[in-house]
């Protein structure tokens, strides 16, 4: 049998026979917090609701975690982006710059705010955008910037905020994939005008199936966040007893808030364990693989590893990136082989402008069917993949991952 025939993808024995352990995300503490709420509801005869003690405590604790400010719990990360942007009250049919790699929920809120998404390119070899790419998109029609930290990797927020200040633009910082990532000792989410967090079940810390948090240091903006997250109620307005703007009910309920409080207390440990696992991979020689390039992140940045962006060094291989990753995945390594599904501006709904509005409105300036040039991110997608990282993994999983990459590398090195 040749070495290539020994690969699992070609019918050979699979190197990793046992599945890697799940995260073990919830424990007795989360169960106890939920049961305490149910017990109180049973004893009182009154079901728990929303905008109560647990959400108040979660928001206060989360704001303190980010260094001080104001937070509001909502029902999803997409909602958090929407409410954060809506609270900025961008002029209808103005342009909002957004990064190319993001969840669809990171770009659809722009359309829902009657604004036109303008796609900035990524930095070369990265998923994240940068100050230069954003500044290239700014026109007199630009009203805001939405920036996402992808995969746990912090964006150059200091540079982006300098560009934003130069042009007088507010910034929505989407931290849904990068809880507790840092830039020069400050957590992401503490740089933008307003920040949005998803805390759905797959994120570093979560509140259950779905949930989100909006954060800002500006009290006036916080009150607008409250207005737009709860049917336009006039929070903070003296003498008001009604609704002041049109919006929907995006509230987080008390059960999700109670679970989120327990999870928030675990967040720094979760991220520390993920960093320790990546360090194990590096210490065991992962960075010395000829087939893989370990990218450098933003100066002063500290990764929180929702997953790990890596690059296949195709110049050293006799196969394509897709063939190499398929072979590694077949050996049992948990990967995201292709992240092209996170390019929402390439989807039919965006390309076809299927919602019609706001693009077909006479007040929409510019070219409604405009295509956006993103050569950096298109090139990156041909070389990058993502290695999943869980805080429950340790030495056994690190050894297995490295062994699998070495097995495949030995077959395909030039």
- For the segment 70-90, the average pLDDT, to the nearest whole number, is 98
3-state class (DSSP) for residue 19: coil
Q: Predicted confidence band at 1 (pLDDT cuts at 50, 70, 90)?
A: very low
Q: Please give the Cα distance from 158 to 299 (Å, whole number).
A: 10
**Which domains does the chain possess?**
28-265 (3.40.640.10)
- Of residues 77, 90, 278, 108, the one with CA closest to residue 189: 77
Q: Please give the Cα distance from 292 to 282 (Å, whole number).
A: 12
Q: What DSSP letter does each residue of 302-326 carry, written as one string? A: E---SEEEEEE-GGGBSS-HHHHHH
pLDDT of residue 2: 57
Residues 270-313: tens digit of each pLDDT: 999 999 999 999 999 998 999 999 988 999 999 999 999 999 99
Contact 295, 172 (CB under 8 A): no
How would you classify the pairing of strands 171-174 and 142-148? parallel
Q: Please give the Cα distance from 284 to 264 (Å, whole number).
A: 31
Q: Which tokens go with 164? A: 């934003």
Q: What is the DSSP letter of 233?
A: B
Contact 106, 81 (CB under 8 A): yes
Chain-centroid distance of CA 368 in Å reads 28
| Helix, strand, coil percentages in the chain from 3-state DSSP, rounded to 5 | 40, 15, 45
Residues 137-167: tens digit of each pLDDT: 999 999 999 999 999 999 999 999 999 999 9
**Residue 29, CA distances (Å) to 106, 110, 228, 262, 264 in order:** 31, 37, 32, 7, 12
**Residue 26, CA distances (Å) to 53, 59, 68, 175 in order:** 22, 20, 27, 22
Q: Please give the Cα distance from 238 to 244 (Å, whole number).
A: 12
Rounded to 5°, the CA angle 265-267-270 comes to 125
- For the segment 80-90, the average pLDDT, to the nearest whole number, is 98
Q: What is the DSSP letter of 91?
A: P
374 pLDDT above the threshold of 50: yes
368 pLDDT above the threshold of 80: no
Residues 170-202: tens digit of each pLDDT: 999 999 999 999 999 999 999 999 999 999 999
Q: Predicted confidence band at 370 (pLDDT cuts at 50, 70, 90)?
A: confident
Longest Cα–Cα distance in the chain: 82
List Cβ neighbours of 220 (8 Å cut-off, separation of 6 or more): none
Place of tokens 């049973």: 42
Q: Please give the Cα distance from 86 to 251 (Å, whole number).
A: 15
16 pLDDT above the threshold of 70: yes
Residues 213-226: tens digit of each pLDDT: 999 999 999 999 99
Q: Which tokens go with 278? A: 């990546």
Q: Please give the Cα distance from 28 to 19 (Å, whole number).
A: 24
159, containing H or E segment:
helix 157-167
Contact 317, 291 (CB under 8 A): yes
What does pLDDT average to over the chain?
A: 95
Q: 75: burial class by Cβ within 10 Å (0-12, 13-18, 19+)? A: buried
Upstream peptide bond of 358 is cis (omega within 30 degrees of 0): yes
């Amino acid at each position: 049998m040749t070495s290539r025939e020994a690969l699992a993808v070609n019918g050979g024995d699979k190197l990793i026979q046992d599945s890697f352990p799940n995260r073990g995300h919830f424990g007795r503490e989360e169960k106890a917090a939920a049961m305490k709420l149910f017990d109180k509801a049973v004893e009182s005869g009154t079901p728990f609701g929303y905008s109560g003690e647990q959400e108040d405590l979660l928001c206060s604790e989360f704001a303190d975690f980010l260094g001080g400010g104001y937070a509001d719990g909502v029902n999803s990360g997409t909602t958090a982006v929407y409410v954060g942007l809506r609270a900025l009250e961008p002029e209808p049919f103005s342009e909002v710059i957004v990064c190319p790699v993001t969840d669809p929920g990171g770009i659809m809120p722009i359309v829902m705010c009657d604004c036109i998404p303008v796609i900035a390119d990524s930095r070369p070899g990265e998923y994240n955008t940068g100050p230069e790419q954003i500044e290239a998109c700014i026109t007199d029609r630009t009203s805001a910037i939405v920036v996402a930290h992808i995969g746990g990797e912090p964006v150059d927020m200091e540079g982006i905020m300098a560009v934003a200040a130069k042009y007088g633009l507010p910034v929505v910082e989407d931290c849904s994939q990068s809880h507790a990532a840092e830039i020069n000792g400050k957590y992401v989410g503490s740089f933008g005008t307003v920040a949005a967090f998803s805390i759905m079940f797959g994120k570093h810390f979560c509140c259950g199936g779905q949930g989100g948090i909006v954060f800002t240091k500006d009290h006036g903006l916080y009150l607008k966040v409250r207005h737009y997250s709860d049917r336009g109620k006039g929070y903070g307005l003296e003498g008001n007893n009604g609704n002041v703007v049109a919006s929907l009910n995006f509230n987080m309920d008390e059960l999700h808030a109670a679970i989120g409080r327990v999870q928030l207390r675990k967040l720094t440990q979760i991220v520390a364990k993920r960093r320790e696992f990546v360090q194990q991979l590096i210490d065991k020689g992962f960075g010395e693989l000829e087939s893989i390039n370990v990218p450098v992140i933003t100066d002063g940045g500290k990764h929180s590893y929702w997953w790990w962006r890596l690059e296949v060094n195709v110049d050293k291989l006799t196969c394509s990136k897709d063939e190499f990753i398929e072979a590694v995945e077949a050996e049992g390594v948990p990967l995201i082989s292709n992240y092209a599904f996170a390019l929402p501006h390439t989807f039919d709904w965006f390309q076809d402008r299927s919602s019609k509005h706001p693009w077909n409105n006479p007040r929409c300036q510019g070219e409604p069917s405009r295509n956006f040039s993103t050569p950096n991110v298109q090139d990156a997608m041909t070389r990058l993949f993502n290695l999943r990282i869980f805080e429950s993994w340790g030495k056994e999983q690190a050894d297995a991952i490295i062994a699998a990459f070495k097995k495949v590398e030995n077959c395909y090195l030039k």
